[in-house]
Structure 1
Amino acid sequence: MSRRRWRIAAIACVLPAAMLLAGCGKKQAEPAVVGQVIAHVGPDDVTQQELDNELRLANVPADKRSDPIVKAALSRIVERKYLVQQAVAAKLDREPTVHLDLLRAREQILAGAFVQRDLSSKMSSVSKNEIDSYIQAHPKQFDQRELFQVDQISFPTPQNVDALATATKDFKSLDQVEAKLNEMNIKFSRGTAALDSATMPPEMLKVLDARKPDDVYFIRSRGSASFFKVTSVDQKPLTADQADEFARRELRVDIGRKGAEDISKAALADAKFEGDYARIMTAAATPAPATEGAATPAAAPASGTEGAAIPGATPATETPAGETQKEQPKN
């Protein structure tokens, strides 16, 4: 083949390839739409995948997705996209505070996704022996589980709650408490509840196990307070299946708590602080100020018991902000 014919053949081969690459580049430049498009909001599309995710975040299972529920979820997406368009048109995304909030939201989502994946990975490796060991190490949560039946008086936390606690510290009955509340013009309700040893913090359980027949306990949180007295205790051991399920949930909590501590230590070890922040971050920790939520027997003060330590009871107190109640085992 002559040099001229070879050059013509080479050009003929290169041109289709160049056209193909140009076509691919053009497609890649277009914004990709993931999932079937089900609606349009101005220039933006709403996909089936977005709707499914909205329903997932709302904890709506597939068999409960009726037309009204789907309509409400899709309406939220449409409104959100519309408002985002208005915000961008107003250049709100360029404002320093909004920009920082967007960065923070992204960080929180990614951090949460990593924590959840790490926790799921660790939980998948939990063995039957580990579950059995946990059950044996916590008898009060399983084969020695108890339900404390209580009589209680509940009310919104008054401004003079400290004075109330002092005035009632020697009381031996809820009738005395009721009289004092009436005297102080504090509105209240009285009823019964059940406290579960399976979900009770160890400090609270220790206090109740050491109770005397006339002990009256006082507990308060940021929004409410209660006096209660144990009237009886029922033995309620968990079955093998219940114990296995509950132990897995408790192990998940423990693994998550330890994982959070490890992440905090690793993050601080990897960080380098500048200026005065180096001093602040390396200073010895000081005891945190006393917070509301301490539960004590009115007749025999006991320190260190958490105010959220009435998990399993019918609503008597609010859980203090930042604390979570354990999920009760299913009876």
Structure 2
Amino acid sequence: MRHISAKLALPLLAIPLLLSVTACGGKDEKTASQVAAKVNDDEISVHQINFVLSRSGANAPTPEAAAKLRREVLDKLVDQQLVVAQAVEKKLDRSPAVVMALEAARRDVLARAYIEQLSAAVAKPSTEEAKKYFQEHPQLFGERRIYNIQEVVFPTAPGLKGEVEAQVAAGKPIEEIAAWLKSKNIKFAGGGATKPAEQIPLELLPKVHALKDGEGMVVEAPQTITAMRVIASQAAPVTEAEALPKIQQFLFNQRAGESTGKELAQLKAKAKISYAGEFAGTAPAAPAAAPAAAETAAAPASDASIEKGVAGLK
């Protein structure tokens, strides 16, 4: 059960903060069937156990394992309540740092609840939409490859890209290009890595996919230039049946993120926001992009692979 215990650790650590969100409403009257344990004058309810289990994602394969898991959660909640009681007795709940942490947790829970409510109203992508995405991105799925890539990254400078492109086109190894950069006193970073398709930026993937083993390319960003060469690659396709559920989740997360972004823009437009002190007169920072999807990884047998192929590449 060690792997299950690890899953329970984070939700249990979060319980004191989450309890603070509802503490202002007073204690709920619990029936005898709702009380799982009493720790001095405090009660631990069945609902608390269910909450921890729902957040942990732990699954028990048998009824016996489920009962053992619920008891494990209860024991941890008992230990936690003993520690919480000591913290309150020592008035730690009144310390500025703890008060601020509790308020931050309250704000986070409320914000997440509103975002979840918005997401619940978002239409789920159809199977047809997922199939269309699958067909439009063969590099991530049907023609997916795992690449052994060598690359070197260095700052942009006038004329530098053209010189490096000529070296890459001539077939020079990345090590030689790095040595040339060093001779020019140009700082660089680089090395070799094995990267599945989903770990390559989506806008760059078609170009990398088109490279044969031994071929290279140069990519320029606003502040950096990257010279890369595909040393070797191997096919690692993902079937449509494996990919579709993950694609649907990705598309849903994408829509939910767009919905949240629009709602936030509308709220900002209606709100009266002013900045003071060191922030007065400065432009607000650009809003962070909403996460498009849950991460996933790379082997046809691994859910994480397919999701990341859809989610992590921007």
* Runs of 5+ consecutive residues of structure 1 not aligned to the other structure: 1-28, 154-160, 180-188, 219-226, 289-308, 314-324
Q: CA deviation at 1:210?
A: 5.7
Q: Give the greater-gyration-radius structure (CA).
A: 1
Residues 160-210 of structure 1: CA deviation (Å, up to 9, x unaligned): x979xx9xx87944777999xxxxxxxxx98x845135x643233144146
Q: Secondary structure at the match of 1:54?
A: helix
* Aligned residue identity for 1:91: K
Change (3 A) 1:131 1:277: farther
Structure 1 stretches of 4+ moved >6 Å? 174-179
| Number of equivalenced pairs | 238
Matched, 1:52 2:38: no
- Say yes or no: does 1:327 pair with 2:308: yes
Within a 5 Å distance, the mapping from 1:1-331 to structure 2 comes to: 31-33=28-30, 36-63=34-61, 65=65, 69-124=69-124, 126-143=125-142, 145-150=143-148, 172-173=172-173, 193=194, 195-196=196-197, 200-209=200-209, 211=211, 213-215=214-216, 229-234=230-235, 236=237, 238-239=239-240, 241-276=241-276, 280=280, 283=283, 312=298, 326-328=307-309
Distance 1:175 1:66, change over 3 A: farther
CA distance in 2, matches of 1:271, 1:282: 18
Q: 1:270 to 1:33 in 2, by over 3 A?
A: farther
Paired-residue identity, %: 22
Q: How far is 1:102 from its partner?
A: 1.3
Cα separation, partners in 2 of 1:174 and 1:271, compared to 1, 3 Å: same
- Bigger shift: residues 81-90 or 266-275: 266-275
Does structure 1 retain, via aligned residues, the 8 Å contact 2:37–2:44? yes
| Matched letter for residue 52 of structure 1 | N
Query: Which AA in structure 1 matches 2:29?
Result: A
TM (normalized to structure 1)? 0.54
- Decide whether the 8 Å contact of 2:36 with 2:46 is kept in 1: yes
- CA distance 1:136–1:216, shift in 2 (3 Å): closer
Q: Is the 8 A contact 1:146 1:236 kept in 2?
A: yes
Q: Are the equivalent residues in 1 in contact too, given 2:147–2:194 (CA < 8 A)? A: yes
Q: Is the 8 A contact 1:195 1:310 kept in 2?
A: no
Shift of 1:31: 4.2
Give the TM-score of the pair, scaled to structure 2.
0.57
Separation in 2, partners of 1:177, 1:311: 32
CA contact 1:149–1:233 (8 Å) conserved in 2: yes
Give unmatched runs, 5+ long, in structure 2.
1-25, 180-190, 220-227, 289-294, 300-305
Deviation at 1:101, TM superposition (A): 1.8
Output the CA distance in 1 between the equivalents of 2:235 and 2:137.
18
By how many angstroms is 1:214 displaced?
4.5
